Structure 1
Amino acid sequence: MLMDDSGFEAYQQVDVEAQAAAARPYQLVLMLVDGFMDNLTRAEGHMAANRLKEKGESIGKCIDIIGGLNSALDMRQGGELAQQMNQLYDFCSMKLFEASVHNDAQKLAEVRSVMGNIQEGWHNFGVAHEGQ
């Protein structure tokens, strides 16, 4: 018997929305990066299993999240750091597109490396600024 996951998915969505409503700005960015990494893991699994439709959907979600992260950059006040982040996000978007088109797991690994470093940076920022 198959179980209907729609109730669980609705619960997860409400939980994410509640976390976002109570989050500080850096926590919102971290939530997006964590979500990105989850979808990247799914894309890798779908690619390995040759589930092309699901791979494309997961990579599409990754690209959407990067678009959100990129659009949140303040290019005027962020200066050189914002420009560097913009370049990293563009690089990752390009590699994700190439990975999808060519079914290339190595390109996903390159993105995982870059975004893993970004994720680690945001985690460290959060640890350093908790309670402030």
Structure 2
Amino acid sequence: MNRMAALRQYRNVNTQAALEDASPHRLIQMLMDGGLNRIAQARGKMERGELADKGVLIGKAVAIISGLREGLDFQRGGDIAQNYARLYDYISRRLVEANRSNDVRILDETSRLLGTLKQGWDSIDPQLAAQALAKTP
């Protein structure tokens, strides 16, 4: 096994272990991190004219945003879940538009929106989040 393959395997094992041990709160943070990373990578690819790779990365970002949306609990979350769903839908549509038009400004907009959401999640105490989930029927 070459060095790069070994490094990829190591990362995959560590990522899998992190996912298995993560709380729901942490999983959302990890998804948001992944979305932000893919958007930033797509921005770089767009700037360098590497359009095929840009499209792949934007597709991955859209998939992550879709995953965040699918994780919403509309019964317990009520209006908040609905608002998150609308925002995730907007971000996804804007990412598709950025891909179509090669507009870096749209990627910046989506990154700011997702970054703001992530700041909110990062400010939540994970223990309080776990207690709240445990109390909810």
TM-score by length of structure 1 reads 0.91
Kept in 2, the 8 Å contact 1:27–1:126? The answer is: no
Structure 1: gaps spanning 5 or more residues? none
TM-score by length of structure 2 reads 0.88
Residue aligning to 2:110: 111
Letter in 2 for 1:38: N
After TM superposition, list the pairs within 5 Å mapping 1:30-41 onto structure 2. Answer: 30-41=29-40
Kept in 1, the 8 Å contact 2:45–2:53? The answer is: yes
> Alpha-carbon deviation of 1:4?
5.3
Residue aligning to 2:48: 49
Moved more, 84-93 or 8-17: 8-17
Moved more, 64-73 or 7-16: 7-16
> Alpha-carbon deviation of 1:130?
8.5
Residue aligning to 1:96: 95
Structure 2: gaps spanning 5 or more residues? 132-137
Kept in 2, the 8 Å contact 1:73–1:86? The answer is: yes
> Alpha-carbon deviation of 1:30?
0.4
Kept in 2, the 8 Å contact 1:63–1:93? The answer is: yes
3-state SS, counterpart of residue 49 of structure 2: coil
Runs of 4+ in 1 over 2 A off after TM superposition: 3-6, 126-132
Two-structure CA RMSD over aligned residues (Å): 1.8
The share of aligned pairs that are identical, in percent, is 34
Residue aligning to 1:66: 65
Letter in 2 for 1:63: V
Kept in 2, the 8 Å contact 1:26–1:126? The answer is: no
3-state SS, counterpart of residue 125 of structure 1: coil
Distance 1:22 1:115, change over 3 A: same
